[in-house]
Amino acid sequence: MNDNHPGPPESATQNFMASDFQPEDAEGIVHLFHAVYGDHYPIRLFYDPQAIIDANASGEYYSIVARTDSGKIIGVTHLFHSTPCPLLYENGVGLVLKAYRNTGAFTRISDYLYNEFIPRHDNIEETFGESICSHDFTQKAVKHFKHIFTAVEIALMPAESYAKEKSASGRVAALCGFRCWKPKYHRIHIPASYETSLRWIYSRIDDSRDVVISEGSAPSDQQSRMTIQIFHYANVARIAVYAIGADFPDAFARIETEAIAGKAVVLQAWFDLGIPWVGSAVDVLREKGYFFGGALPRWFDTDGFLMQKLLCPPDFDGIVLDADTSRQLLDMVRQDWERTI
C-alpha cells in the first residue's frame, strides 16, 4: 500500500474533527505514514492496518485521529507505554498531512487528547513526549499543553527517519517534556555530581518532591538488576537500571558490551532516583564517558535520571530550540559532555 496515488486530492479547507480511533481508520493511518515518511518510518506496525487495529484493541497504543467529513485520515497522534511505569504514557508518533499543517489539525488532535481523552482515563497519571529538535513546532505544541522540558536526548534519531521531507541532515536530538495529571509525593535521591542542575529542573516541574542528596554505597549482599533494549533501526541502546548492587561496575560493563556489539552508537542509561545510593552508580558511569541527560519524572513510578554516551559525533549547533529554559537545559548537557572529550 502506498500513498503515492491516493486518488483525487481533497481541499485542505474541508472540515475535519478529532476523535478516538475506529477500526476503519487503520487504512487511513497507513496511507498517512506513507505520505509523510515514505517507507522509512522505523516502527513497522504503522504500515500494517490489522496490527494498528490489534494494538488499539489491546491498549498497546491509543490512536487519536483527525478525519475529514468524508472520512479521510489527515492526522494522528498516539499514547503508549515506553517506560517501566504503567501509569506514565508517552505521547508521540504524531503526524499530519503536509497540506493540512497550517489548518490547526495537530492542535485539534492535541486539544482532544488532553482535554477530552485523558480526563476519561484514570490509568493515566503522567504524560510525556519527545520533541525532535530539527525544528521547534512540536516543542511549541508540547508547551502549549503544559508539558515541562526536563531532559535532552542527544543524537537520538538517525537522519534517515526524516528522509522523505529532508528535514534533517544528521542525527536529531529530542527534548523530553512531562505533565503531571495525578500528583504523587515521593522522595528522590539526586546525585551530588548534578545537584545544581537537578534542583533547577525540579524547581520548574508541576509536581512536588522530597529531594535529598544521594549518599552511601550499595549493600554488599545487593545484586544489580538491569535490562537492555536495542533499537537497531536507530542504533540506540536503552539500559534501565532497576537495582544497584556492589557488583554494579562489572554488571554494567557487561551490558554495555552487549549494546556496542549490537551496533548502538547512542547509549542511554536510566537510573531510579528512588534508590538512596544511586549517586555511587552515576559516578561509575561518569568515569566511563557518560554525561548528563536530565530528570525523568515518574519513570519508574519514582523518578528516573538519564545519562548518555555517544559513539557518534553530536551536532549541538544543529539543535533548534524555541525557549531560553530549553537552551539553559541544553547548556547543562553540553558542558557535561565536554567533560568527557
Among 153-162, 202-211, 319-328, the least confident range? 153-162
Q: Quick one: average pLDDT of 271-294?
A: 98
Q: Quick one: average pLDDT of 144-151?
A: 94
Terminus-to-terminus CA distance in the chain, angstroms?
Answer: 47
Q: Quick one: average pLDDT of 85-92?
A: 95
Domain boundaries, the chain: 16-180, 187-339
Residue 12 has what pLDDT? 52
Residue 241 has what pLDDT? 98
CA-based angle 147:112:302, to the nearest 5? 35
Mean pLDDT computed over every residue of the chain: 92
Q: Which fold has domain 16-180?
A: Aminopeptidase (3.40.630)
Residues 6+ away with beta carbon under 8 Å from 236: 156, 230, 264, 265, 266, 267, 268
Bridge partners (DSSP) of residue 87 are: none
From residue 314, alpha-carbon distances to 211, 250, 308, 311 in Å are 32, 28, 12, 9
Torsion of CA 259, 261, 266, 267, to 10 degrees: 20
Residue whose C-alpha is closest to residue 158's, from 175, 169, 173, 171: 171
Say if domain 187-339 classifies as CATH 3.10.20: no
% of the chain surpassing 90 pLDDT = 82
Instruction: Answer whether 16-180 and 187-339 agree in fold.
Output: yes
What is the distance between the alpha carbons of residues 296 and 152, in angstroms, rounded to a whole number? 10
Q: What is the pLDDT of residues 163-178, one digit of tens each?
A: 455 555 679 999 999 9
Q: What is the pLDDT of residues 128-142, one digit of tens each?
A: 999 999 988 888 888
pTM for the whole structure: 0.88
pLDDT of 116 above 50? yes
What is the distance between the alpha carbons of residues 283 and 56, in angstroms, rounded to a whole number? 41
Residue 180 has what pLDDT? 97
Q: Quick one: average pLDDT of 193-203?
A: 98
Cell numbers 485523558 correspond to what residue? 118
Residue 226 has what pLDDT? 98
Stretch (H or E) spanning 196: helix 195-202
> Could you tell me if 220 and 249 are in contact, meaning their C-beta atoms sit under 8 angstroms apart?
no
Confidence class for position 14, pLDDT limits 50, 70, 90: low
Cell output for 332: 547543562
From residue 320, alpha-carbon distances to 6, 77, 166, 202, 341 in Å are 33, 22, 15, 23, 23
% of the chain surpassing 70 pLDDT = 93
Residue 7 has what pLDDT? 35
Among 5-19, 47-61, 221-235, 247-261, the least confident range? 5-19
Q: What is the pLDDT of residues 37-53, one digit of tens each?
A: 898 888 899 999 999 99
